[in-house]
Structure 1
Amino acid sequence: MILHQLIDYDTLRLIWWVLLGVLLIGFALMDGFDLGVAILLPFAGQTDIERRVIINTIGPVWEGNQVWLVLGGGAIFAAWPILYAVSFSGFYLAMFAILMALILRPVGFKYRSKRESVRWRRNWDWALFIGGFVPALIFGVAVGNVLQGVPFRLGTDMRIFYDGSFFGLLNPFALLCGLLSVTMLTMHGANWIVLKTEGVVAARARRFGRIATLASLALYALGGIALWLFIDGYQVTSTFAPAGPSNPLAKSVEAAGGLWFSNYAAHPWMMIAPVLGFLGPVLVLVALQFKRELLAMAGSGLAIIGIIASVGLSMFPFILPSSAQPGASLTVWDSSSSHVTLFIMLVSTAIFLPLICAYTAWAYKLLWGKVRDDDINGSGHAY
């Protein structure tokens, strides 16, 4: 027997759909608090030493956390090539804006403290804010557009035609999702600052964390209502073989209101995702009130898992619906790489993902503890 035949093609596709979700959630959990900390930097830190303390809570770990973004992009490229082609071409300007904002992070960390000038450092603080705010916003905007359907078409030769524009992405529902992304990651970042600092910095972060948590709850609820009342979902109306070849045009699809909620009726266990999306922020509020730092961090993590998972579970089996040509929508069953490719990637992932997790756990254990003023003044390695 050929090795890749040990796992059915449809099973491999489902596994990689789950792994894609795991990688995206991993990025939001790990690099998400880096973005949230950068968003809060100009506000939670009022003096130069306070801002240096905040920066040094993420300075040693942000590069390692960004590995999850690389893993997610690589997984999309190799496991879902059509998805990669459509999304990275259609969202090209948005991706470019994210890239330019992310470039500000290493530059800001490197150059901020090179001069004693107050104006110099303040400008770099705002550059770091942009490096956190813009990616958080655009990632959420992208999710909002995916839920509405992206205006792309596929020719009979599988050529991609994108009918949208950058400013078309900035529609009301997408901006709502973008704001939810910002408040969610700000909540996560605030909890990280509370966990890693003390005194007045932690107190400010706790206050901002409460505000971001309440905003996340409100925006998540508002987004769900808007999705139910105003946004069409998609549904495959033709029969198809899950183990068949990848051909998005070999099916028919209809769009109608409320269809994104049909999975919850068919599979009630999926309700765990939106429940976590609401329960996580409530747990954060309780933990912040009683100064349970680890519990607050766990609560924001649960919120992130629930909110992101609720999007994926609502859309299943769709990965990228098309508003211009619904029949060309990409699903789990018709937009993946070959059977052999998915199997080889799965073996590689089974080897390297545990190593990445083990190394990450070791690094955080080594760097555990709070960052204090003395650590900044007495160390030549501090940012």
Structure 2
Amino acid sequence: MFDYETLKIIWWLLVGVLLIGFAIMDGHDMGVGTLLPFAGRNDEERRVIINTVGPHWDGNQVWFITGGGAIFAAWPLVYATAFSGFYWAMLAVLWALFFRPVGFDYRSKIHNATWRSTWDWGLFIGGAVPPLIYGVAFGNLLQGVPFYFENTLVSHYTGSFWQLLNPFALLCGVVSTAMITMHGAIYLAHRTEGDIQRRARTAALLFGLVMLLGFTAAGIWIAAGDFGYAITSVVDAAAQPDPLAKTVVRQPGAWLANYAAAPATLVVPALAYAGAALALFAVLRGRTLSAFVASSFAITGVIGTAGVSMFPFVMPSSTVPGASLTVWDAVSSQRTLGIMFWATLIFMPVIVAYTSWAYKVMAGKVTTAWLRENEHSAY
């Protein structure tokens, strides 16, 4: 069995892997949903687009459920505090996600233009809103979330929903939305032909550039901004978790300290730039599968940059910095982390194997001819 400190680090990495897996797997079908009303110019084209992700989108929700469950079990204080502070934002994500199962299943059941157009825009909402809100949430985490703990560790959120929609957080929302839409556009280009593929490639180039510009602007803002947090007291990484047993100060530029202390970590933001650049180059050359792989690396770099920059912080507090939640003091017991680690080691390969098999079986181009041949089973 691993010692407590090692398990804390392992679960910081595993939560990151699950969030990245969710962004890559569920992200590309959200990106396709975002593009649906624009890349498809008529009902037949929109049905082609829907069927590129139709067989897989619900299976990809496993990453969403697993990621949320892992945060709940590994970082219970983070889960409780985030859901109380981001309550209305989380509800907005949930309401947007409602459109997806209903939209996919009911959209083509009735041959009515108004009915189908309504669900097309519903699928757009279900694809565009969650990445935007996730990005806004990360933007607020980087600035610090207004909360504090009582002595009994009951958390209190001192901000408001509208306070979450600040300029930096909205910029992070733009980065997240552009990143996911680029990823979905590349997948759509890989699975289609003709006019739809051409529009998808154009969208991938556009949103890829927006992502790169937004990611750069966010980095400059962090470097020049007045937010950042640092622990000034001695931390016993192997101790039992107590989020109130440390001293934290706001320190501008603190989010860059890890890169100075460990220059090798610069490979993470570099991966975001290299992955996006290679993805756009591959799209221009028509190598859509290579572009999808490169886009996945870009997503890894963007999310990983947030994680590396904030480490060991997970949810810093702008109200009482000393109440900030970190990798060391927001976790479950050693036994819980150990049991979860072995469960993950067993079931994660099963999820990856099942997903790989499903995509292999459903591989190939989705065209109007394919749609007519499979009218009995297509969405």
TM-score grouping bracket, smaller chain normalisation: over 0.9
Deviation by residue 1:301-331 (Cα, 9 ceiling, x = unmatched): 1110000000000000001000001000001
User: Shift in Å at residue 378 of structure 1?
Assistant: 2.0
| 1:180 and 2:182 correspond | no
Percent of paired sites with the same residue: 54
Amino acid at match of 1:381: S
CA distance in 2, matches of 1:188, 1:174: 21
CA distance in 1, matches of 2:286, 2:226: 39
Closer/same/farther in 2, CA of residues 48 and 231 from structure 1, 3 Å limit: farther
5+ long unaligned stretches in structure 2: none
| 1:67 and 2:35 correspond | no
In the comparison of the two structures, how many residue pairs are matched?
378
CA distance in 2, matches of 1:285, 1:84: 36
Amino acid at match of 2:2: I
Question: What is aligned with 2:188?
Answer: 193
Question: What is aligned with 2:330?
Answer: 335
Using structure 2 for the length normalisation, give the TM-score: 0.99
The answer to whether the 8 Å contact 1:375/1:382 transfers is no
Question: What is aligned with 1:13?
Answer: 8
Question: What is aligned with 1:153?
Answer: 148
Amino acid at match of 1:197: T
Question: What is aligned with 2:96?
Answer: 101
5+ long unaligned stretches in structure 1: 1-5
CA distance in 1, matches of 2:135, 2:25: 16
Query: Which of 297, 304, 313 is the matching residue for 1:309?
Result: 304
CA distance in 2, matches of 1:355, 1:120: 39
Q: Secondary structure at the match of 1:232?
A: coil
Question: What is aligned with 1:130?
Answer: 125
User: Shift in Å at residue 377 of structure 1?
Assistant: 1.5
CA distance in 1, matches of 2:172, 2:354: 33
The answer to whether the 8 Å contact 1:152/1:324 transfers is yes
Question: What is aligned with 1:351?
Answer: 346
The answer to whether the 8 Å contact 1:40/1:190 transfers is yes
User: Shift in Å at residue 166 of structure 1?
Assistant: 0.9
Question: What is aligned with 1:3?
Answer: none
TM-align CA RMSD: 0.7
Deviation by residue 1:144-172 (Cα, 9 ceiling, x = unmatched): 00000000001111111100111110000
Query: Which of 244, 247, 261 is the matching residue for 2:242?
Result: 247
User: Shift in Å at residue 256 of structure 1?
Assistant: 1.5
CA distance in 2, matches of 1:272, 1:149: 25
- For residues 1-383 of structure 1, the aligned pairs below 5 Å read 6-379=1-374, 380-383=376-379
CA distance in 1, matches of 2:372, 2:141: 47
Instruction: List structure 1 runs of 4+ shifted beyond 3 angstroms.
Output: none
Amino acid at match of 2:281: V
CA distance in 2, matches of 1:65, 1:227: 32
CA distance in 1, matches of 2:116, 2:152: 53
User: Shift in Å at residue 189 of structure 1?
Assistant: 0.3
